[in-house]
Amino acid sequence: MNGSNVVRKPSAKRFEFHRAAWVLPVSSPPISNGAVLTDGEKIVAVGNFKTLGERSPRGATQVDHGNAAIIPALVNAHTHLELSAMQGAIPLPQSSFGTWVQELFSRKSTLSPEPAAASIGKGRRQLFESGTGLYGDIANTPELKHEEDSQTPEGVTFLELLGFDRKEMETPDPDLLRKFLDEAETDASLSIAAHACYSTSAGVIQKAKEWARVRQRPFSMHVAEHQEEMEFLQTGNGFCRQLLENLGRWVPEWEPPQTSPVQYLKRLGVLDAGTLLVHAVHMTPSDWKILAENHCPVCFCPRSNRHLNTGRADIGSALKYGLVSALGTDSLASNKDLNLFAEAAFVLDHYPEVPPTDLLTMMTLGGAKALRHDNTFGSLEPGKRLAFLAVFLPESTRLPQLFETIIDQGKKGAWQWAHCLRNS
């Protein structure tokens, strides 16, 4: 079985009683011979099959998933769906971040708006078909809308702001920016992001963060992703400066802060629980401590880091410091797919210090918290959305291997939607 086999969701207020060999709420320990009771709109109860069955509504439809594990829908906390049309266009791996950027600019300039818009739909379908129920997307073109349908996940769209030489939040088309921000006032799925410390001015970073803070929206930035970024903040030289000069964005009077990106952002006053920092590859113990003190969530994209030769993130330290940690695939220009099960399998293979239990949390509740959607996604709890998967297990699966087996089976496609997303 695979992700294309979708169990139909019930009509409103029609109770369903989902049973499986294991239920993993994520927010609490695994339940052997577990069950999830739903009412057509939300999760009503989670518990042991026998105990829950004794108090389930009469006439509830029984759905037995057999020797499977029911888990929450996955949360891919960092994507760039506009780049989905570039899948396979840039050879991977690249020798450095700089060479990849040059390839990206060269290829991206040939895309027309039509393929770019279509690529968002392509990316969202890939997310849905690999078990993702919620995603965070970094967008550069506010006019490209995310069309909603029953076969795509929900998303938090961050309009990304760049401009090292700018003092105000701007995009190439001021009217489109104004329209996006107007819509964002009443649409909680819309927010804004600043690209990075080397591409966005301090003033824009602060104003963008303040916009998000006032509206209680998540704010996101790429941070400490590559050595080129570290060199620029220390010396003001290197690839990042050359790039700014080539783009006509260099500010001659700018002085490098001579600190790490995390320390720089602390100076700017933008670190808190609503600031999602992506990549965090080149970090010091002091950086991790600062993030812990400010309760900042972090999203890791390890396969993208490998493909761009930017380094190996210290996921173990993030967990050690108790940070809310999430997992993302990054874009199809820097990764081969948007499959979060595959991303997690890569972590299992290359990060033995990361326990599989923590990894499943990163794939679900960690991502939901990072995107500030943990009231509806990320765990199996009463009141949460009907968005969960049934991952099929080998008969020999026991608790010590359960989490690792779920990730391995998910990567193989041995799962199905136990509940669809929209209109559930």
Residue 124 has pLDDT above 50, yes or no: yes
Q: Which CATH superfamily is domain 16-72+379-417 in?
A: Urease, subunit C, domain 1 (2.30.40.10)
Residue 69 main-chain phi, psi, to 5 deg: -115, 125
Q: What is the pLDDT of residue 340?
A: 99
Mean pLDDT of the chain: 93
Residue 149 has pLDDT above 80, yes or no: no
Q: What is the pLDDT of residue 59?
A: 86
One DSSP character per residue, 242-260 reads HHHHHTT---TT-----S-
Q: Do 249 and 200 form a contact (C-beta atoms < 8 A)?
A: no
Residue 80 has pLDDT above 60, yes or no: yes
Local confidence band at 108 (pLDDT 50, 70, 90 cut-offs): confident
pLDDT tens digits for 341-387?
Answer: 999 999 999 999 999 999 999 999 999 999 999 999 999 999 999 99
What percentage of the chain has pLDDT greater than the value 70?
93
Q: Do 225 and 195 form a contact (C-beta atoms < 8 A)?
A: no
pLDDT tens digits for 280-306?
Answer: 999 999 999 999 999 999 999 999 999
CA distance 119 to 333: 12
What would the mean pLDDT of 11-28 be, rounded to a whole number?
88
Q: Do 295 and 321 form a contact (C-beta atoms < 8 A)?
A: no
Residue 202 has pLDDT above 70, yes or no: yes
CA distance 233 to 240: 9
Q: What is the pLDDT of residue 173?
A: 76
* Helix or strand (DSSP H, E) at 210: helix 202-214
* Helix or strand (DSSP H, E) at 178: helix 174-184
Q: CA angle, corner 336, sides to 358 and 2, nearest 5? A: 70
Local confidence band at 13 (pLDDT 50, 70, 90 cut-offs): low
Local confidence band at 148 (pLDDT 50, 70, 90 cut-offs): low
3-state SS, one letter per residue, for 292-355: HHCCCCEEECHHHHHHCCCCCCCHHHHHHCCCCEEECCCCCCCCCCCCHHHHHHHHHHHCCCCC
Local confidence band at 8 (pLDDT 50, 70, 90 cut-offs): very low
Tokens encoding 7: 């169990």
- Per CATH, is 74-370 categorized as 3.20.20.140? yes
Q: Helix, strand, or coil here: 235?
A: helix
pLDDT tens digits for 399-415?
Answer: 999 999 999 999 999 99
User: Which residues of the chain form CATH 3.20.20.140?
Assistant: 74-370
